């Protein structure tokens, strides 16, 4: 099985704990990029029976020699030496620096072909900003780090998915006012292209892509806004001309229900393209945080993450739920297998 790298996430949040819990149930073909002391602390919060043993690695290749009960941890450069002193459950600049360092190391390994994909534990955006990082979240940082020096960053998109619904966002971590301004014909078309190309890698040769409108009732023929007429519909037409099965724009308040796929309700669409963050993520998260997975589309490597945050209120209590992280690992493995066979 191909090797995955887990980035530790925010050391003051639940990321290290959910990684440790996952290791107790699976513990194979993975390596943690982060702080060994932080991971040992997280392991100590688990029941004594079945705890993995943290092993510090000097090279990712050493992971293949470990047993499933051993957790290989690779120390990234730039890790704050006093990270363990950062208070659990609070925003701390050291945790932001450590999270960014872990991501950069994992991306370097992916670019070298030494790992097949990355599963990122949650980081805290405020801690990342305190650390001086100019990126509002994982997606933008991964996009920047995944681009060779001197090249223009490749366009990426955020997808949140579970077994019932997949949504891809045209805009991500910006204000609602900025998001509306960023919904252009080119950004919608680019999203449709990335969505179509990514789905083909998962084994969907002709994904059915529904496009949500920006305005209530998809503008109601221009009564509530004309972006559907002037921006979104032309982008859909251009995508169709390229052989992409894009449909819409549809009313945002019903398109997600139409796409939801259950045994009793086969979805009309495979994926919904949403115009902004909350429009696309609320429907998926409402179906349950435990199964949601964040996937970054457009990167040259696989990247997934759980769809929850750092959960500072649960950090250090041993009560963090591992289900979403386990699902993120499962999806990462599926995507890696899909890329290998395509």
What's the pLDDT score for residue 290?
A: 73
SS3 304: strand
CA distance 29 to 270: 30
82 with 203, same domain: the answer is no
SS3 content of the chain, % helix, strand, coil (to 5): 40, 15, 40
Q: Are residues 249 and 175 located together in one domain of the fold?
A: yes
Query: How many whole angstroms separate alpha carbon 213 and alpha carbon 226?
Result: 10
Same domain, 11 and 147: yes
Residue 342: what pLDDT? 59
| SS3 state of residue 160 | strand
Residue 137 lies in a domain: yes
Residue at 51 is within a domain:
yes
- Within this chain, do residues 31 and 130 fall inside the same structural domain, yes or no? yes
Token pair for 46: 């688990």
222 within a domain of the structure (yes/no)? yes
User: 287, 308, 328 — which closes off a domain?
Assistant: 287
Predicted pLDDT at 129: 94
**339 closest CA partner among 33, 23, 4, 29:** 4
Looking at 266, 287, 308, the residue that finishes a domain is: 287
Q: What is the pLDDT of residue 289?
A: 67
Q: 318 and 226 in one domain?
A: no
pLDDT of residue 260: 96
**DSSP class of residue 265?**
B
- Cα 310 to Cα 12: distance, rounded to the nearest angstrom: 8
Whether residues 13 and 141 share a domain: the answer is: yes
Are 2 and 147 part of one and the same domain? yes
Contacts of 293 (CB under 8 A, 6+ apart): 160, 161, 162, 304, 305, 306, 307, 324, 327, 328, 331
d(CA 172, CA 190): 14
Say if residue 242 is in the same domain as residue 318: no
Residues 75 and 170 in one domain: no
Give the Cα separation of 100 and 140 in Å (integer).
Answer: 12
What is d(CA 182, CA 167) in angstroms, rounded to the nearest whole number? Answer: 18
What pLDDT does 144 receive? 86
Domain assignment present for 158: no
The residue range of the domain holding 100 is 1-151+299-342
Structure confidence at residue 300 (pLDDT)? 87
Q: Is residue 294 part of a domain?
A: no
Mean pLDDT by 10 residues, the chain (342 residues): 93 96 90 97 90 95 91 95 96 96 95 95 94 88 80 87 95 94 98 95 90 96 95 98 98 97 94 97 86 89 91 92 93 85 62
Q: Give the number of domains in the chain.
A: 2
Tell me, yes or no, whether 71 and 171 share the same domain: no
Q: Are 234 and 309 in the same domain? A: no
The answer to whether position 293 is within a domain reads: no
pLDDT of 202 reads: 81
Both tokens assigned to 110 = 């992916």
User: Is 157 contained in some domain?
Assistant: no
Residue 232, domain CATH: 3.40.718.10
- Please tell me the predicted confidence (pLDDT) of residue 189: 98
Does residue 156 form part of some domain?
no
Max CA distance (Å), the chain: 64
Note the pLDDT of residue 7. 97
In this structure, are 9 and 146 located in the same domain?
Answer: yes
pLDDT in tens, 125-170: 999 999 999 988 888 888 888 777 777 778 999 999 998 999 999 9
Nearest to 210 by CA among 269, 265, 283: 269
Q: So what's the pLDDT on residue 136?
A: 83
Predicted pLDDT of residue 145? 85
């Amino acid at each position: 099985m191909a090797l995955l790298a887990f980035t530790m996430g925010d050391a003051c949040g639940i990321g290290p704990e959910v990684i440790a819990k996952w290791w107790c149930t699976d513990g194979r073909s993975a390596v943690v990029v982060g702080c060994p002391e932080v991971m040992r602390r997280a392991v100590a919060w688990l029941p004594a029976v079945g705890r993995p043993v943290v092993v510090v690695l000097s090279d990712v290749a050493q992971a293949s020699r470990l047993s499933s009960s051993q957790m290989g941890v690779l120390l990234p450069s730039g890790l704050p030496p006093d990270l363990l002193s950062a208070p659990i459950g609070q925003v701390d600049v050291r945790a932001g620096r450590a999270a960014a360092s872990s991501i950069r190391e994992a991306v370097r390994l992916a670019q070298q072909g030494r790992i097949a994909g990355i599963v990122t534990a949650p980081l805290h955006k405020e801690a990342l900003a305190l650390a001086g990082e100019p990126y509002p979240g994982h997606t933008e940082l991964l996009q920047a780090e995944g681009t060779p020096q001197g090249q223009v960053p490749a366009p990426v998109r955020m997808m949140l998915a579970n077994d019932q619904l997949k949504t891809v966002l045209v805009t991500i971590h910006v204000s609602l006012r900025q998001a509306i301004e960023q919904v252009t014909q080119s950004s919608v078309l680019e999203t449709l292209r990335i969505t179509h190309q990514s789905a083909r890698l998962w084994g969907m040769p002709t994904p059915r892509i529904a496009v949500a409108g920006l305005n209530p009732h998809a503008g109601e023929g221009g009564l509530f806004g004309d972006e559907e007429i002037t921006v979104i519909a032309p982008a859909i037409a251009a995508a169709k001309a390229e052989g992409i099965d894009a449909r819409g724009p549809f009313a945002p308040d019903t398109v997600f229900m139409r796409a939801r796929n259950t045994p009793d309700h086969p979805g009309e669409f495979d994926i919904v393209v949403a115009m902004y963050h909350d429009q696309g993520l609320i429907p998926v998260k409402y179906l349950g945080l435990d199964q949601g997975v964040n996937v970054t589309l457009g990167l040259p490597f696989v990247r997934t993450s759980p769809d929850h945050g750092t959960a500072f209120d649960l950090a250090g209590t041993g009560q963090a739920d591992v289900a979403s992280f386990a699902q993120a690992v499962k999806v990462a493995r599926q995507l890696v297998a899909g890329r290998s066979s395509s």
